Amino acid sequence: MPQAAQLKFYLDMRRRILAHEFAQGERLTTAMFMRPGELSRPATIGVLNALASDGYLNRHQKSYTRAIWTAENILECADRLEVFVQISTTRVVAEKGPRLIGLQRLAGVLVDTDPKEEAFYLRSMEWMSILFRAGERRTIAEVVYKLIPQAFYRHLFNLMVGRSALRTMIAKVARFNRDSLNGDIAHAHQNQAEVYSNLRRAIDIALSQNPAMKFDLEALSHCNNVREPDIRDRTLAMSHPYYPLYLSADRAPGVARNVVA
């Protein structure tokens, strides 16, 4: 587990990044954030590397810049996620084993949880991490982790918190998920297709109202207080080197690169 000072710095920086406190292209260096008696240089680098690995920052040789998330990025990641959810749901429903029982239990918890609460977001991440281990094929979770940056889920959560229409749709998605896991494979496929069709429309509306993906700093302080485990159900230690993403969130010239998966 990260030290308390590192975790506090990570959460504070994440809120500042989501609120666009740092201008596009502004160079952020380690020296800007070091505090005597609080964070050493290696500890500060560890946090900034973690933020870059999670998709909030772009790392350069000796500095960082805020990763630019756009509506295009969000929709692209949502489309990728749909494919993996459909594949894994088919496996889980076909198995009809302990994993299905666990997902059904979590689906019930989500239905009874307010989508505006961070608890809903954390349980959703847990639900997907169980789903992507369908058939114990951990490679699915690893691929999803690399193709969909962790920051995507947090951006989507904050969009939902600020838009009642999206929260209503997410609540409907939770009910559909609960119901789709109680039938056969054909039933699951039909429900998932309807879920993502409605969800994508709701995301489109939310993005049209906040295309810059900029969130209010004060509002963020009430619902962004946990560093959640990633889609593999892991939390990278804040002492690791920077792990570059397979697909960059930032489409700026010279940043984006072609990848074949």
Please, which pLDDT band fits residue 247 given cuts at 50, 70 and 90?
A: low
- Say if residue 221's pLDDT is above 90: no
| Domain ranges (residues) in the chain | 71-220
Give the number of other CB atoms < 10 A from CB of residue 215. Answer: 22
Q: Which two tokens stand for residue 62?
A: 């000796």
- Say if residue 113's pLDDT is above 70: yes
Using a pLDDT cut of 90, give the percent of the chain over it. 36
- Say if residue 94's pLDDT is above 70: yes
The pLDDT of residue 204: 86
Considering the chain, what is the average pLDDT of its residues? 84
What is the enclosing helix (H) or strand (E) of 66? strand 64-66
3-state secondary structure 78-141: HHHHHHHHHHHHHHHHHHCCHHHHHHHHHHHHHHCCCCCCHHHHHHHHHHHHHHCCHHHCHHHH
| 232 or 181, which is more confident | 232
The pLDDT of residue 63: 94
| Planar angle of CA 1, 156, 111, nearest 5 degrees | 85
- Say if residue 58's pLDDT is above 90: yes
The pLDDT of residue 195: 73
Give me the CATH code for the 71-220 domain, please: 1.20.120
- Say if residue 261's pLDDT is above 70: no
